[in-house]
Amino acid sequence: MSRKAKILRKTKETKISAEVNLDGKGNYKIKTQIGFLDHMLEQLSKHSLIDIKLDVKGDTHIDLHHSTEDTGIALGEAIKKAANKFKGIKRYSSALIPMDETLTRVAIDISGRPYLVWKVDLKVEKLGEMDTELFKEWFQAFSQSAGITLHVENIYGENSHHKIESCFKALAKTLKEALTVDKRIKNLVPSTKGKL
């Protein structure tokens, strides 16, 4: 069964087209108008093996908040839609990802109950043109719209670029594992409730 989805999100602040293939090869075509966010989402695609096509037009002349948040919303919605009511998925995963001096831990439960725990302190106000406070906004929007309980913790590190990139790479690795279909339960939802 194909696990692909396309989402079109249009507001007065942004216009977004998001396409995903959960069983892809990590191919991507990402244009958010925000260079650093493009770089992070390319990492997400490459290391999760989720094919992502993302085109974002937003009111970046105001600031980058709306485009960042709405990109998280659209991508989360697309992944949730593609996951076919989460039938057969492994559901849980965690990853420790190093990047030079930095180590980050991410744990997820694709539970249908969105929640974000964010323990990432950044020493700089901007990475590229992005305000660093926007990264929490992206992860919050993504976890809410995808229906994922998501814990992100930078255990240690110095370089803020490394800290954020390790967060996205760790999210990628956990999504890859948790969204994998277990052939033993491929038509069942991994919950005693029978529904996520």
Q: What is the pLDDT of residues 143-180, one digit of tens each?
A: 999 999 999 999 999 999 999 999 999 999 999 999 99
Q: Which residues contact 80 (CB under 8 A, 6 or more apart)?
A: 145, 146, 147
Q: How far apart are CA 141 and CA 146, in angstroms?
A: 8
Find the DSSP H helices in 49-183: 65-82, 133-146, 160-178
pLDDT at position 190 is: 74
List phi, psi (to 5°) of 106. -130, 135
| Phi, psi for residue 98 in degrees, rounded to 5 | -90, 150
Q: Is residue 132 within 8 Å of 125, Cβ to Cβ?
A: yes
Predicted TM-score (pTM) of the model is 0.95
What pLDDT was estimated at residue 52? Answer: 98
The domains found in the chain, sorted by start residue, are 4-185 (3.30.230.40)
> How does pLDDT run across 8-42, given as a tens digit for each residue?
999 999 999 999 999 999 999 999 999 999 999 99
Q: What is the mean pLDDT of residues 84-101?
A: 95
- What per-residue confidence (pLDDT) applies to 192? 67
- Determine contact, residues 45/18, Cβ cutoff 8 Å: no
